[in-house]
A and B are shown apart, each in its own frame.
Chain A
Amino acid sequence: MKIVVCMKQVPDSETQIKLAPDGGGVDLHDAQFVVNPYDEFALEEALRLKERFGGEVTVVTMGGDKAKEALRTCLAMGADRGVHLNDPAFAGCDSLGTAGVLAAALRKLEYDLILCGKQAIDDDCMHVGPQLAELLDLPQVCVVNKLSVAEDGTSAVAHRQIEGGSEVVSVTFPAVITCQKGLNEPRYPSLKGIMGAKKKPLDEWRAGELGIDPASVGAGAAAVQIRQFFPPPPRSAGRKIEGDPAHAAKELVRLLREEAKVV
């Protein structure tokens, strides 16, 4: 089974968000970067399917030079090959632009299954997986937390998390599946995996190699333009209601009703 995992390098979830002085972006100078956690579920699932069916796991990422570190982490975890879509023209892509670049790369790769995280934890759009499926004209199942692949490896039954329950969907491959927490427990890279990662193929593809016109991607071509970033308003201090419990409770209810207007 040939599986492609789409992966994004994102700031660690503990990064303190600092805004760039002009408000036009986030200053990530001091941030530590990691593999997007939902993409780790995708990779783990891919590795397990490879262990079961044989085949090959390729990880594709679009990102600047630094993203190579995240690809190496994936190779250390057990992926066979990395593809780095790295071109200054890609900078500032919106989600549709990103999906377009990934689709161009996938047209050059062989696959039976494409696995993505359900969302990237930095911009939280949840767009790229579904858009990629549309661009490649593939079926998609999103926010999957259980995946049972049939014996012959050509279809699967996927459980999707929906409001208040789950939805069970069957899908034939090739397909795009976006992965949710609960799907599996991602492994740590083993020491041997880390030592072997450098020896695995890691290709770098630019716009030209993907047949993409640089003017059609990146910030300039984005359909969605980010106007401004601003922090949430600082929280004001709480209020303490003094007095004996019976009185305090009465006062609390009054405030909830009259001031906060929630009861």
Chain B
Amino acid sequence: MASFKGVDFYNVSDLFSEEELMIRDTVREFVEKEVVPIIDAHAQAQTFPMGLIPKIGELGLFGAHLQGYGCAGLNNVAYGLIMQELERGDSGLRSFCSVQGGLVMYPIHTFGSDEQKERWLPKMTAGEAIGAFGLTEPDFGSNPAGMLTKAVRDRDDYILNGTKMWITNASIADVTLVWARIDEENSYGGFLVEKGTKGFSTPQMKGKWSLRASITSELVLEDVRLPAGARLPKTPGLRGAFMCLNQARYGIAWGAVGAAMSCYETAVNYAKSRIQFDRPIASFQLVQRKLAHMLIEITKAQLVCWRLGRLKDEGKLRHQQISLAKMNNVQMALDIARNARDLLGANGILDEYPVMRHMCNLESVNTYEGTYDMHTLILGQDITGIPAFT
């Protein structure tokens, strides 16, 4: 099969610098050669392709938008293009990198002590240590402020108790950033919990139909005693968690375009070669309408991402703008994946083609990092000034 050339109807590439394009093309080639050939087998087996981690580290993709500690120090557009290409391969792979870079390295970099940074960032950049981010609980998803996980001060230590759910990478993580309420401060804090800490376990969740090539786990914390040095000292309460989520949501907005491009490309190629009623199905108006619609939506989403990235690089980005991009782009990608699945007929359900895997993955992407509806409410509040969350 021919390798992926991208979709670029509006010459959006012309808006990127030579370096940004070289980064995109490098990751594109990496995904083509290292990810595409193995990803379906991993999704079928519900395993994460662990062998990719050192390779991704060598390329420098983990925390590529951070400065220092061995990180590449890229701008946000280049970082976005990386997420796009990774998710062209698989949303699970992009999730891994989002969690590692956006949800663990970023907070350590931003809220951590020098000691925490020295200890974790160089290893995490190289892919020698894996991170996880524990915010969601069984009873608190869209409303994390209600969380029950508690940290209680005991002289120089903290003692953590609680349960988290839906935590990407946790079973394979060396360090998990656990968010907990701290009643005595009437606030929340982030704690770095290391693998093997007494009272801390991470049972893997099974039975997902979505993000099957990504590890998802529970966290169980039973009287987990942590030294005060495990707390991220500069965390501004729960706002710290939202700052992390903004990083990851930003990457998702780009990633969704990658998944959509993969589905579109598959659909176009299939439509041209599949013969029914003695003609390629691409010659039917209803099929052409679907393809045209996909191209229109991808093109719009690409421009949204480009502008979003430039705003972020200029330091002018508002988090509501990320909400718009996240909800729009994931919805359009899901829509395209469903249409592509339909267009491929029975073949659309096979792992010979990536569409059903993308389609199922995008259901999670639609839900995590703020559901479509939660981002709608964020925009609603921005438009009207009236919060409608409760």
Contact = CB atoms under 8 A, between A and B. Distances in A.
> Do A and B belong to a common assembly?
yes
A198 interface: yes
A191 B23 CA distance: 7
A190 B58 contact: yes
Contacts of B2: 14
Interface range, B side: 10 to 19
B379 interface: no
Contacts of A195: 19, 72-74
A188 B74 CA distance: 17
A183 interface: no
A157 interface: no
A190 B59 CA distance: 4
Nearest to A13: B3
Contacts of B26: 76, 188-189, 191, 194
Interface string A57-85: 00000000000010011001000000000
Interface residues of A, number: 16
A191 B60 contact: yes
B30 A194 contact: no
Contact of B61 (A32, A73, A191): A191
B19 A198 contact: yes
Interface in B43-62: 58-61
Interface of chain A: mostly helix, strand, loop or mixed: helix
B60 A192 contact: yes
Interface string A185-207: 00111111011011000000000
Given A195-B72, A195-B74, A189 B5 contact: no
B29 A194 contact: no
A190 B19 contact: no
A188 B29 contact: yes
B185 interface: no
Contacts of B60: 190-192
Interface string A169-197: 00000000000000000011111101101
Interface of B: 2-3, 5, 18-19, 22-23, 26, 29-30, 58-61, 64, 72-74, 78
Interface of A: 14, 32, 69, 72-73, 76, 187-192, 194-195, 197-198
30 contacts: A69-B18, A72-B22, A73-B22, A76-B22, A76-B26, A187-B58, A188-B29, A188-B30, A188-B58, A188-B59, A189-B26, A190-B60, A191-B26, A191-B59, A191-B60, A191-B74, A191-B78, A192-B60, A192-B72, A194-B19, A194-B22, A194-B23, A194-B26, A195-B19, A195-B72, A195-B74, A197-B19, A197-B22, A198-B18, A198-B19
